[in-house]
Amino acid sequence: MTELRFDEPGRIDTRQGERLMELIADLREEQALLEIGNMLASGWKSTDVMEYCLQAMREVGKRFESGRYFISGLIMAGELMRRANELLKASLVQKQPESTPGTILLGTVSGDIHNLGKNLFAILVRCEGYHVEDLGVDVGPERFLETAVNIRPGLIGLSCMLTSALPELKATVELLHDHSAEHGAPVMIGGNCIDQHILAYSNADYWAKDAIQGIRICNRVLGKG
C-alpha cells in the first residue's frame, strides 16, 4: 500500500502547476516531462501533479473540438500522458500489503480504445493494495461477464470516454447485473463522459468523477475504510 493522503494540502508552488498545464496543452512533451520530474523532486504529491495533467488534457480536448488540433494532436497528447503516467507511477512508494483488500476487474468498454484514465486508476488502486485484473480496451460485455464469473472480483470498473460507446456501457452493466448471482460484484463506471445522468441511464451501481473518487468507492464497498 502507499501514501495516498487525499486531504493533506501539498507543499506546492501553484505557478509550477500552471506552467505544466501550458506545456502539456501546447504538446511540448519533453519539457512537460522535465517539469513533472522537477515538481516531484521538489515535494509535489503525485495526485496533485496528476490533477494538473488532467486539466491540461481537457484543454487538449477543447482544442480538438474547436478544430485547433487534429487527431495527431490527440495522439501526441496520449503519448505524453502515457509517459507522464510512468513517471507518476514510479514516484508512488509501494508497500506490500499483508493481504489484499480485494480484486477489481477493470476494462474500457467495447468501441472505445482510450486507456490512459483507466491505467491511471489501476496504478493508484494497486498502490492501495488491491489486485487489479485489467482486460484492456474495447472489451465486450461477454468478456467482462466471463472473467467476473471466473475470478469473482469485489468490484467491476468500466471505463468509457466516448458518448458513442454509451450504449455498450449500458449493455455491459445490464449483462453483469442479469448475472450478478454468478459473480456477486457491483459495477462502478468512470471516464470523461460519465456523470450522474449516465449513472441513471446505465443503471450502474456507482460512478466516479475521477480516479481518487474511484478509490474512495472501492474502499467503501470493499470495507477498507
Among 217, 132, 207, residue whose Cα is nearest residue 166: 207
- Contact residue for ligand B12 among 25, 32, 33, 60 (CB under 6 A): 60
What span, in angstroms and rounded, lies between the C-alpha atoms of 119 and 129? Answer: 15
Angstrom CA distances, 182 to 64, 106, 133, 149, 158, stand at: 43, 18, 18, 6, 18
Select the residue interacting with ligand B12 from 190, 198, 204, 222 (CB under 6 A).
190
Site membership for ligand B12, residue 61 (CB under 6 A): yes
Asked if 154 touches ligand B12 (CB under 6 A), the answer is no
C-alpha pair distances (Å), 102 with each of 26, 96, 151: 40, 14, 11
Per the structure block, which three cell numbers stand in for 204? 450502474
Q: What is the C-alpha separation between 187 and 167, in angstroms, rounded?
A: 16
Task: Indicate which single residue of 64, 92, 135, 167 sits in contact with ligand B12 (rule: CB under 6 A).
Answer: 64
Q: Is 105 helix (H, G, I), strand (E, B) or coil?
A: strand
Our finding on whether 204 is near ligand B12 (CB under 6 A) is no
Binding to ligand B12 (CB under 6 A) within 94-153 occurs at 112-118, 120-121
> With respect to ligand B12, which residue has the nearer C-beta, 117 or 141?
117
Residue 4 found at the interface with ligand B12 (CB under 6 A): no
The residue ranges that bind ligand B12 (CB under 6 A) are: 54, 57-58, 60-61, 64-65, 71, 74-75, 77-78, 81, 112-118, 120-121, 157, 159, 161-164, 188, 190-193, 208, 210-211, 214
